[in-house]
Amino acid sequence: MVKTYELRGKNKSELISTLDELKRELSELRTSKVVGGTATKLGKIGFVRKSIARVLTVYNQTFKSKLREKYAGEKHVPRDLRAKKTRAIRRRLTDEQKNLKTTKQTKREANFPQRKYAVKAL
């Protein structure tokens, strides 16, 4: 069984070679299943499938993290790298957009500031 922490240390070509080996082993196990292999070989199919899944997961995660590094600080980022959140949150105004004021509003606030009232103590 392949361990994920071991896979994370490997580079792209090593991961692909590991994946090819596992896929080859899986096809051999499946042919032995059809022919009528032993119970240990049949039980091993599940382990090999999980190992393939682990290799693909590590490969995709490293690929995506490198893409994130590449697009960090860029104006336009690919859709699959953007934050998912919810549709409503994605369409919501940003804080900067919320705090913008029209010229009329800024003039009105400058010319007619909020009145301050002093309350007399009894």
Give tens-digit pLDDT for 38-77. Answer: 777 888 999 999 999 999 999 999 999 999 999 998 999 9
Q: How far is CA 23 from CA 19, 56, 68, in A?
A: 6, 12, 29
Give tens-digit pLDDT for 106-117. Answer: 999 999 999 988
Helix (H) or strand (E) holding 56: helix 39-71
pLDDT for 42: 82
Mean predicted confidence (pLDDT) in 74-86 = 92
Mean predicted confidence (pLDDT) in 17-27 = 96
Give the torsion sign (CA, 39, 45, 48, 50).
Answer: negative
Residue 37 has pLDDT above 80, yes or no: no
d(CA 26, CA 32): 10
d(CA 46, CA 25): 12
Mean predicted confidence (pLDDT) in 13-39 = 91
Say how many C-beta atoms besides its own lie within 10 A of residue 32's C-beta.
15
Q: Are 58 and 7 in contact (CB under 8 A)?
A: yes
pLDDT for 36: 80
Residue 11 DSSP class: -
Mean predicted confidence (pLDDT) in 30-36 = 86
Mean predicted confidence (pLDDT) in 30-35 = 87
d(CA 25, CA 2): 13
